[in-house]
Amino acid sequence: MSRFVAVAFRSACRLLNTSRPLTSKRDTQYTSVRNFLVTQSKTKDKVTIYFVTSDGNKIATEAKVNSTLLDSIIDNDLDFDGFGACEGTMACSTCHVILPKHIYNAELPSDEEQDLLDMAYGLTDTSRLGCQVYVTEDMDGVEIKIPTETNDIRGFS
Ligand code: FES
């Protein structure tokens, strides 16, 4: 919650914490402000993400906000062949995922990530490494494609 919202919320709560009934127009306005601020302060800690496999299976997962897509796949016990071989240390490129354009544009890959992506099979304009993409509230309901093949650049696949 931003500092402004927190201060405004406390002020609204202080004004509403009276024993008299809320009947005046002013009270109604304060109630509206409080309801607005409470709504604004609510944040999701989990979202639903759909992973779509190369054979068209759409797998719904619960993903924690601020965790990576790789974490979400591990937390949900999804078994994508060879996926995440280096466990997020940016050494393999097996965690290649294809994002929807609006999610891709929200945060572009670093140069280091782009170098690894260049070695992934089936690279697209919206490819990312799943271990480098953090789940945000904006991702609720999005579909993320898992490419057909993986390429472990360490030479293990
Ligand atoms: S898990 Fe290896 S680069 Fe992401």
Q: Answer yes or no: is 11 within a domain.
A: no
66 CA to centre of ligand 1 in angstroms = 17
Look up the CATH number of the domain holding residue 121.
Answer: 3.10.20.30
Residue 16 lies inside a defined structural domain of this protein: no
Q: Kindly give, in sequence order, each residue whose CB lies less than 8 Å from that of residue 113, ignoring residues fewer than 6 positions away.
A: 90, 128, 129, 132
Domain-embedded: residue 40: no
Q: Give yes or no for residue 125 having a pLDDT over 70.
A: yes
Domain assignment present for 13: no
Cα(106)–Cα(56) distance, integer angstroms: 26
Query: Would the CB of 88 count as within 6 Å of ligand 1?
Result: yes
Give the pLDDT confidence of 36-75 residue by residue, as tens digits.
666 555 678 999 999 999 999 999 999 999 999 999 999 9
Helix, strand or coil, per DSSP, at residue 59: strand
What is the rounded distance in angstroms from the CA atom of residue 84 to the CA atom of residue 120? Answer: 13
Residue 107 has pLDDT above 50, yes or no: yes
Residue 97 Cβ inside 6 Å of ligand 1? The answer reads no
Give the residue numbers spanning the domain of 94: 46-145
pLDDT of residue 150: 76
Q: Is the CB of 90 under 6 A from ligand 1?
A: yes
Looking from the CA of residue 87, the nearest atom of ligand 1 is: 1
> How confident is the model over 1-12, as a mean pLDDT?
52
Strands 46-52 and 143-145: parallel
pLDDT computed for residue 149 by the predictor: 76
Count how many domains the chain has.
1
Question: Is 9 within the bounds of a domain?
Answer: no
